[in-house]
Amino acid sequence: MKLTANIRQILLLVLFSSAAGAQEKSPVAYVNPFVGTTKSAVLTKWGSEGGCYPGAVAPHGYYQLTPETRRTGARGYDYQDSTICYFTCKDHHSGFPGGAAGNVFVMPVSDHQSFDPDHYSRQFSHKDETAVPGYYKVHFKDNQTTVETTASQDGGIFRFTFSEKVKPQIFASESLHFSATPEEQRSVKGGTLYIFKKGITIIEASIGNNTLSFDALKAATYKQWNELLSVVEINDDNEKGKAIFYTALYHSLLLPWLNNGHYGGFSPWDTFRTLHPLLSLLYPDLQAAMIRSMLDVYHASGHLPTESMTGNHSIPIITDAYFKGIPMDKEEVYKAMQQSINDTPYLQVDMPVYHELGYIPFTYPESVTRTVEYAYDDWALNLFTKEAMHEKVNDDRSLAFRHLLHIPSLFLLPRNRNEFKLHPGNTGYKEGDQWVYSFFVPQHPRELINMMGGDELFALRLDTALERKHIIFDNETVFHVPYLFNEANRPDLTQLWVRKIMQDRFSNTPGGLPGNDDLGATSSWYLFSAMGLYPLAPGKPLYALGIPAFKEMRIHLKDGKTLTIKSNDTHNPYVQQVRLNGVVYQGLNVAHEFIRRGGTLEFETGIAPVPSRENVNRTVIRLTEITMDTVATADQPFPIGFTLINNGDAGVYRINIMLNGQLCGSKNCLIGKGARLRDSVQCYLYKAGENVLQLNEQAERKVMLKTPLINASPVISDLVLQPLLKKDSIQRITFAVMNKQGTKKTFTIPAYLDGKPFYSAKLTLEPGEKKVVSCQVKTGLIGWHNVKISEISDRFKVYKDPQESLLLSLRGVKDVSGFENDAQIISSGEMKAPGNHPFLSDSNTYIEIPNARSLDEMGTTLTMMAWIYPTEKVPGLVDVFSKGDTHVLQIVDGKMLSFFAGGWGRGDITVPLPEHWLDHWHHIAGVCDKQRLKIYIDGVLKGETKLDEPVNLSVGHKWTLGRNEEFPGTRIFKGYIEQAKIFSDPIEITNCQCIGERPVQ
């Protein structure tokens, strides 16, 4: 039985079950395939392009016939471009970085131009371009050639229309079936140039299986798309919203690909959160077929599908589908899930230590991400084991986040036994940081909230993080975040942020997606959110309630059921009441079973927030027994004792110290379930006489300071200046001043440059008050300069020429740049004394440069270089010179050299390695000059790629030679490294003396 036939029957059922009087404009007519085909129009952090393509494709089609406009960097189609390099026919991972790039190259070639497949392109205008589901068209005005494409699930057709005056020429990298016979076939680099007789005006070229004519196939695919999209009807005059919605639904139905009755191209990390739950709801038969294909992978390989990311999220996909009624053999899937994450041999090398410790230490890459994602998979499997197999389980590992929670900061931080990395940057995280991954516990939201200080503190902290853009909605890792407010009894904030994200970050434009669409995952988030539903924790058959985007939506479910979702006013920001089938619904989550039955879900909205309809707070902590002295000593720790009594689950309670009406300190206290904790905090007093102290909202206490400090000098601290400055630029300086005297005082603070005063600050401070002072100075003298304020000082360098912008220059491990940032040799985890010889990087040894402002705070340009002597070809990625995964010179599979600056998502330049690469000295350099990335080998420019816009290159990772701080124990360079240098300016490497002399081995 052919799967495609079943799908067509499903589509017909969907079509005929649609109610009469549906929206006048068909759903397919709203789809805009150009959405997501260029850089996002909004701020993003973890991927700036939508990664989508405009070409012809059928639902889950194995063939996608689409143009590409870029060969280097982020390959594929970008709407900003005005030339097309070629068309490609398959392997487009819609929404991935470079997801618009594919394989099997085809291009009509002008007979007036010489043809080089590596450099050929043709001008076009978007005015001459058309894209609708299943069809694409573009006209090249240079010789009046038109290209049209259409596709089915298992084939595709090009239709080329030429002028009678043109001699048709078509390049193809693989054999195609042409409707006309070429009179000549010329072998060229990468394929064949087919040349046809002049006067032939229409030539069709097909790939895969095609039995229909071009126009018949185009019409059939268009109809197929309309049938699938008609599963949702929208009754609303919001035309822009409907275009965004139906385009999102279109994008959610492109992958996995269907090929010969089996689905492939799975990427569970991207799709387990939204895409597969969406299929389980709207297209359960398609989801069932995909589960069967996932099991095919298991039977062939021994494991369920994974990809290059973290975890094995096929587990929650299957668990979620099972509990939503998707038919499957539970014994078979249970065995597959167990073998994929619990049985040896493990797929992941860090799984044994995770099982041993309950978390992954930071001696492994991406330790925090892997810990919380493994914990999620454990939870999903435990849920299946307990509810489907009726076996006992141990849920301890599903709460693994507790091992990584750093109580003072309330962040999940990289940890190794008793040590936490307090300033990790991106180290320990996959496409995220401490803000993003500290909230990834969707399976246990109440436990997370309790451990982060309870409802009020949790909601305030998360709201502030979103408002201040510590967390930006641009990636799968934060899809669930706005719905966490529900769990903290602040549904008004869920409604506010979901509405804001839908309205501000999605649009019907080429830049209309907030980051990578990742196989339709981001689009699926929009679809759920527009319905007013969201699967917070896939595996659990519940939907969090949000706020719908349309007045009425009719969702045609399986077995002829229809769910109608209504809103009285979609402009109001808050939900006042929810009614399910006419009955007031009090909860903030609704079961899939209620949704599956159909009926009516009504949202009554208004302009004012409504208190929680589900007031649950299982942590009840009481502060009592506060003790403190009545007399204090100036500038000495003043302890305050207290007792916490917890009548609920384990959680964290924050103690705030108010001194004379001002917050002067706080402490987070972890207290176990039903426990009693005696603890203390401390502060410092300076004000003479009576001081008023208060812990949280407890009674105020009065403390006397009888002997204040008198005539104490102001304390100067935190001097900050720019370490490197271009000639005639302005040096901006900040420093802090504190008054330790017992009364209000006015101070005059002079600032000196090279021993001469250039600024004087006059400020009045209360006792114990600290203020930051800002000033600036300009100097045109080349060389080193000293700034002194009171007893503290720092120096900076002024330069003129780019080669003088040297920030680091290692001889062995000694920094001779003048900044004195000497490197450290790390061997088996221990530091060795510096030396002055070529450094040998191997599996046990590498070089690390400690953090310094001169190396961490940068502008928008950069040059990094080194002499290297590779001794071994290492498969995969090898990081030779890196600053985290932000600025990297790396070797790829022992064949290519790659460079990027500002993060891999910005683009990279990759070039072949020269002959005689091993066992020879080579000079490598990467240059970022705002507009371009350039890569040099042995002083010769080997390649460059254009960047969209400049970005600030500051990042907190350590510079590393032979490794990458973000990937400990991996990406190991084996060979010698010498004369590593960093410049703040872009350097023209060719014939530059900055390269230095070739080292002597």
If DSSP states are collapsed to H, E and C, what string results for 793-831?
EEEEEEECCHHHCEEEEEECCEECCCCCCCCEEEECCEE
At 917-929, the pLDDT tens digits run: 999 999 999 999 9
Position 947 scores a pLDDT of 86
Q: What's the confidence (pLDDT) of residue 285?
A: 97
Does position 720 have pLDDT exceeding 50, yes or no? yes
Q: For residue 739, with 0-12 CB atoms within 10 Å meaning exposed, 13-18 middle and 19 or more buried, which class applies?
A: buried
**What is the pLDDT confidence band of residue 75, given thresholds at 50, 70 and 90?**
confident
User: Comparing 250 with 8, which gets the higher pLDDT?
Assistant: 250
Asked if omega into 284 is within 30° of 0 (cis), the reply is no
Contact status, residue 765 vs residue 740, Cβ threshold 8 Å? no
For residue range 869-913, what is the model confidence (pLDDT) as tens digits? 999 999 999 999 999 999 999 999 999 999 999 987 777 899 999
Q: What is the pLDDT of residue 307?
A: 84
Residue 973 CB partners (closer than 8 Å, separation 6+): 841, 846, 868, 870, 874, 878, 879, 880, 891, 961, 962, 963
pLDDT of residue 903: 87
Q: Which of 546, 483, 460, 474 is nearest to 504 (CA)?
A: 474
446 pLDDT above the threshold of 50: yes
Q: Quick one: pLDDT at residue 176?
A: 97
> Residue 19 — very low, low, confident or very high, per pLDDT cuts 50/70/90?
very low
Q: Is 962 left (phi over 0), alpha (psi -120 to 50) or beta?
A: left
| pLDDT for the residue 1001 | 64
Averaged pLDDT of the chain:
93
Q: What is the pLDDT of residue 659?
A: 97
The Cα–Cα gap between 48 and 42 comes to: 9
Residue 17 has pLDDT above 60, yes or no: no
Question: What is residue 617's predicted lDDT score, i.e. its pLDDT?
Answer: 53
pLDDT in tens, 545-590: 999 999 999 999 999 999 999 999 999 999 999 999 999 999 999 9
Q: What span, in angstroms and rounded, lies between the C-alpha atoms of 529 and 502?
A: 8
pLDDT in tens, 487-528: 999 999 999 999 999 999 999 999 999 999 999 999 999 999
Tens-place pLDDT, residues 171-204: 999 999 999 999 999 999 999 999 999 999 999 9
Nearest Cα neighbor of 217 from 154, 159, 151 is 151
Strands 701-705 and 631-632: parallel
pLDDT at 278 over 80: yes
Element (H, E) at 437: helix 434-437
Q: What is the pLDDT of residue 819?
A: 97
The CA distances from residue 998 to 770, 863, 890, 995, in Å, are 53, 19, 20, 8
The two tokens of residue 456 are 């009020």
Separation of alpha carbons 856 and 980, rounded Å: 16
CA distance 81 to 71: 12
H or E segment at 457?
helix 454-467
Give the residue, 111 or 5, on which the prediction is more confident: 111
Phi-psi region at 313: left, alpha or beta (left = phi > 0; alpha = psi -120 to 50): alpha
Q: Specify the amino acid at residue 353.
A: V
**What percent of the chain shows pLDDT beyond 90?**
88
Nearest in space to 550 (alpha carbons), one of 227, 133, 228, 243: 243
Q: Which pLDDT belongs to residue 403?
A: 98
- What pLDDT, on a 0 to 100 scale, did the predictor assign at position 71? 86
Is residue 615 pLDDT above 70, yes or no? no
Question: Please, are residues 677 and 642 in contact by the beta-carbon 8 Å criterion?
Answer: no
Mean pLDDT, residues 247-275: 97
pLDDT at 9 over 60: no
| pLDDT score for 18 | 38
Question: Is the CB of residue 432 less than 8 Å from the CB of residue 369?
Answer: yes
Residue 789 burial class via C-beta count within 10 angstroms: exposed 0-12, middle 13-18, buried 19 and up: buried
- Asked if pLDDT for residue 993 goes beyond 60, the answer is yes
For residues 366 and 310, the answer to whether their CB atoms sit within 8 Å is yes
- For position 16, what pLDDT does the model report? 37
Among all chains, which residue has been given the structure tokens 């394929």? 191
CA distance 956 to 67: 39
Q: How many CA atoms lie within 13 A of 898 on its CB side?
A: 23
* pLDDT above 70 as % of the chain: 96
List all residues 6 or more positions away from 528 whose beta carbon is below 8 Å from its beta carbon. 274, 277, 278, 534, 535, 543
Angle at 966 between CA 962 and CA 972, to 5 degrees: 25
983 beta partners: 806, 863
The answer to whether 204 and 147 have CB atoms below 8 angstroms apart is no
Question: Would you state the pLDDT for residue 22?
Answer: 41
HSE, CB side, 13 Å, CA atoms: give it for residue 841.
32
Confidence of residue 830 (pLDDT cuts 50, 70, 90): low
Q: What is the mean pLDDT of residues 27-52?
A: 94
Pairing of strands 715-720, 730-738: antiparallel
pLDDT in the model for residue 818 = 96
- At residue 614, the pLDDT reads 58
Looking only at Cα atoms, what is the longest distance across the chain? 105
Give CA–CA dist 473/475, Å, rounded.
Answer: 6
pLDDT of the residue at 172: 98
Domains of the chain: 3-228 (2.70.98.10), 472-611 (3.30.2080.10), 621-705 (2.60.40.10), 715-799 (2.60.40.10), 803-995 (2.60.120.200)
Residue 139 burial class via C-beta count within 10 angstroms: exposed 0-12, middle 13-18, buried 19 and up: middle
pLDDT at 689 over 70: yes
Cα Rg for the chain, rounded, in angstroms?
Answer: 32
Higher per-residue pLDDT: 133 or 620: 133
CA distance 445 to 449: 6
* pTM score, whole prediction: 0.93
367 pLDDT above the threshold of 90 = yes
Please say if the pLDDT value at position 270 is more than 70.
yes
Amino acid 946: pLDDT: 85
CB within 8 Å of 488: residues ≥ 6 apart = 449, 455, 458, 459, 462
pLDDT tens-place string over residues 746-755:
999 999 999 9
Q: Average pLDDT of 772-789? A: 95
